Amino acid sequence: MYSNGGHIIDTLKKRWINLVLLSYLLSSLASAILITGLLHFLWPVSLWYVLLLWVVFSLLILLFSKAWKIKETDIVIYLNKTFPQLEDSCDLLLKSPDNLSLLERLQAGKTESILQHIAPAYPLRKRNTSAFIFLLMACALFSVVLIAKPSGNSTTIKQRIKSGSSRAEKILPAISSAEITIFPPAYTGKHQRLQQQFNLLVEEGADVSWQIKTNTYFSKLELVLNDSMMVNMTAANKDHTLWKVNKRITSPGFYQVKAGETASELYRLDVIKDALPAIAIEKPLPYTTIDFGMPQKVNLLAHATDDYGIKEVSIYATVASGSGEAVKFKEQKMSFPVSFTANSTAYSLNRLIDLKAMDMQPGNELYFYLQATDTHNQQARSDMYIVVLPDTAELMNADVVMNGINLKPEYFRSQRQIIIETEQLLKDKGAITIEGFNKKSNELASDQKLLRLRYGKFLGEESETSIGDARFDKDEHHSDEKEHDAADAKDFGNAEKVMDAYEHKHDNAEDATFFDPETKKQLKATLDEMWKAELQLRLYKPSEALPFEYKALRLLKDLQQKTRAYVGKTSVALTPLKPEKRLTGELDKIINPATEYTQPNVDVARSLPYAIAILENLKDDHFLLTNISTAILREAAGEISSKAASEPSKYLGALQAVRRILNTVALAGKITTEDILVCQQALQSMLAEINRLPSRQASLDGFNLSKQYFMNLKKAGKNSNDQ
């Protein structure tokens, strides 16, 4: 379509577009790098944001600039403008040669030949170079940021770590090297480890072996434990330069290495105590009741964890049977269907406990707890959990009727009656016809319903078929029919009576309920069970109704139990008192009982608060310690030392500091504020919280203003009285 010249222009156009795109990509990359670098410098932003920003910027620039829209005509205009020798004729090249006139064709040919000879300098080359420089600068800035930022960050972190942890250890100059091997005890399941530092952190009961090389001959090398116990090291070679000792570490403390007469600084000896295993029982609940008809099984789900490993977890179950003084206990140990040979640190345990298999009868109770043993033979046990199988026979016991206060109506017995009849019906199932069985079941359902409605009334429930309503009771109370009729006849024309039957009454004193919310809640739960029982009976499934009936009965019984009140026996026969003789005994021979008690001396603890103030005064270089102050400081040092033996990681630094202070005081040197602060901190945390105590307020002795005022007031009062 194009002439040869047209092709040249076409390729020019493509190249131009490519260059434009390139410049855009470069500048967007540069800005992306610049912005990411800035963000990274200010906040901890990931460097991968460069890519995301690049894409976003490029898309934005492209969208707005529309570089691909450059046309051939644009190229032509550009060429015409830049190269006068083309004589404004480039557009001819774009036209089809067939459409050109002769003159035009000649001109086109001339332009084409010129065009082939000139190498157009692209106008965008400058832009590209500037974009490239921009990119380079951004990269340079970015790298500067990268170098500057982490260095600042890492130093602060390092400083923090340094200030947080203890200072670097100081080793005696005579010691050239030390190797300390720690053999953790078997229960930890850890391997031995080697370290060069003297500060130790070992498991409780670990064996520690020190191997110290000295530069020169020493006759004796020993470890001083907690300032009190000496452990002599044995020379392993003839030159007395290699020394060894083994020791089992069971308690925390601190130690020093003593070579000849020079002792090292204090080293920490921290002990990691083995934690007790922990048991968490997820299922069942601490107190579980299994109602009649429910499966007599308990699903036990528990988790046991320990820091090093669990050796065993077992269930200790006790079945209690009988009541009163005839209670019998049967203990039993059960295990989980899990192998503990791996001694792992956490186990999830699951076991189904079959109560029937444990010979549990209704009325029996199962108490159980879990006991876990860890690899260090430490044992921990869970709380006691209780599973109860209620005794249905006990529920049927009529003892309850003896209750003096009977808040509930006598219909209570009906639930028992319904259960008895349901059981009888199930027994007779083979003997009677299906129709008879169904009919009986339905009748029982009606009884259940009546009972439910009666209780519903106590709750203030309303129902269109409320019990005791003559209008709806007819089918159930055939025998009463005549009485009702008679009553109707008497009341003929009694408007109130007639209205009564159709009125919907509230606030009836008879219906008012006197129960507290808790009782009401339980009554409601009872009604719920009755509903379910009725449903099963209506479906001619008395066997399935039985559990609900029993539960309803149990709940009702609970309700009754709650209303019971205990009244202790009061009829004790006492000898009658003679009031005239009371308090007339002769007491003159009786001496007053007197007790004397003195609090044990607590002077040692009292020196510590003063030690803080003495240290405070030591911050002043001119302060001179008195003998008493030095004694107090020494006492404080002793206290810190005993504290450091039990908690070396917390108090060892303070112990070293207080010793340095005492030494410098003795040599009249300069005490560092840091040492003083460390000691003060240790003393502050050692001292117990101080309680608010009463004290005497101070008042100025002698003749002050308020006293003068008081005396004058008194005098004035006297004078006025005299008058």
Partner 1 sequence: MINNTLIIIIAVSLLLFLLLKEIRRLNKARLYLRLLCSVIAVASLACIALPITMLSNKNSIGQKQMLLLTEGYNKDSVDVFQKNKNIQVYQADSLLTADGDSLYVFGYGLSKYKWQQLKPAGIDFHPSPLSAGITSVHWDQDLQTGHVLKVQGSFNNTSADTVTLLLSAYNMHLDSVSIQPGVKQNFQLQAIPKHLGQAVYSLIAKFQGKLIAEPLPVNVSEQAKLNVLMLAASPDFENKFLSRWLSQNGCTVVLRTAVSKGKYAESFLDTSKFKIDHIDPALLNRFDLMVADASVLTALSNSELESIKKQVADKGFGLVIKADTSLIAKRFYNESFDLSALPNSRITHNMLIRGIDKPVRFTEEQAAYIKSKDDLQPLVTNESGNLFIAAALYGSGKILMSTLSQTYTLALAGQQSYYQSLWSSVLEEAALQKNIAEHWSIKPFIPRVDEPVGLFVQTNATIPIVTIENSKIAFLQNKNLAYEWNGTYWPRTDGWQHLVSSNDSLYWYTFKETDWKNIALQQRTSETYAYAKSIKDHSLDKSETPNKKPFPKIIFFFTLLAACTFLWIERKL
Binding status of residue 627 toward partner 1 by CB under 8 A: no
Q: What letters, b where the CB count within 10 A reaches 16 and e where it falls short, cover 617-653?
A: ebeeeeeebeeebeebbebbbebbbebbbeebebbbb
Residue 161 CB, nearest approach to partner 1 (Å):
18
Q: Are 310 and 277 in contact (CB under 8 A)?
A: yes
Q: Which residue type does 278 have?
A: A
Binding status of residue 712 toward partner 1 by CB under 8 A: no
Residue 478 CB, nearest approach to partner 1 (Å):
57
Residue 450 CB, nearest approach to partner 1 (Å):
46
Binding status of residue 720 toward partner 1 by CB under 8 A: no
Binding status of residue 696 toward partner 1 by CB under 8 A: yes
State residue 246 phi and psi, 5-degree precision: -120, 145
Binding status of residue 156 toward partner 1 by CB under 8 A: no
Which of 506, 696 has the CB closer to partner 1? 696
Which of 329, 710 has the CB closer to partner 1? 710
Nearest Cα neighbor of 284 from 269, 304, 298 is 298
Residue 606 CB, nearest approach to partner 1 (Å):
8
Distance separating alpha carbons of residues 235 and 503, to the nearest angstrom: 111
How many other C-beta atoms are found inside a 10 Å radius of the C-beta of residue 354?
A: 12
Binding status of residue 590 toward partner 1 by CB under 8 A: yes
Q: Angle at Cα 410 formed by Cα 446 and Cα 292, nearest 5°?
A: 60
The correct pick among 410, 603, 689, 722 for binding partner 1 (CB under 8 A) is 689
Which of 472, 610 has the CB closer to partner 1? 610
Residue 157 CB, nearest approach to partner 1 (Å):
19
Binding to partner 1 by CB under 8 A, coded x per residue (else -) over 600-619, reads: ------x--xx-xxx-xx-x
Binding status of residue 705 toward partner 1 by CB under 8 A: yes
Return the residue matching tokens 């005497």: 696
Q: Which residue type does 263 have?
A: A
Task: Choose the binding region for partner 1 from 151-159, 286-294, 508-516, 676-684 (rule: CB under 8 A).
Answer: 676-684
Return the residue matching tokens 């004193």: 509
Which of 161, 705 has the CB closer to partner 1? 705
Binding status of residue 681 toward partner 1 by CB under 8 A: yes
Binding status of residue 577 toward partner 1 by CB under 8 A: no
Q: Are 651 and 252 in contact (CB under 8 A)?
A: no
Q: What is the largest CA-CA distance in the chain?
A: 161
Binding status of residue 251 toward partner 1 by CB under 8 A: no
Residue 571 CB, nearest approach to partner 1 (Å):
29
Partners of residue 277 on adjacent β-strands: none
Q: At what angle do helices 102-117 and 4-42 cross, to 10 degrees?
A: 50
> Total residues contacting partner 1 (rule CB under 8 A)?
47
Residue 582 CB, nearest approach to partner 1 (Å):
11
CA 657 to chain centre: 38
Distance separating alpha carbons of residues 396 and 413, to the nearest angstrom: 9
The secondary element (H helix, E strand) that includes residue 667 is: helix 648-667
Binding status of residue 583 toward partner 1 by CB under 8 A: yes
Token representation of residue 99: 């459409």
User: Under DSSP, is residue 580 helix (H, G, I), strand (E, B) or coil?
Assistant: helix
Residue 581 CB, nearest approach to partner 1 (Å):
14
The correct pick among 165, 697, 721, 723 for binding partner 1 (CB under 8 A) is 697
Q: Burial of 36 by CB count in 10 Å (0-12 exposed, 13-18 middle, 19+ buried)?
A: buried
Contacting partner 1 within 16-55 (CB under 8 A)? none
Q: Where are the beta strands (DSSP E) in 355-442?
A: 365-374, 379-381, 385-388
Binding status of residue 685 toward partner 1 by CB under 8 A: yes
Residue 550 CB, nearest approach to partner 1 (Å):
43
The correct pick among 690, 719, 720, 722 for binding partner 1 (CB under 8 A) is 690
Q: Which residues bind partner 1 (CB under 8 A)?
A: 583, 587, 590, 592-599, 606, 609-610, 612-614, 616-617, 619-620, 677, 680-681, 683-685, 687, 689-705, 707, 710
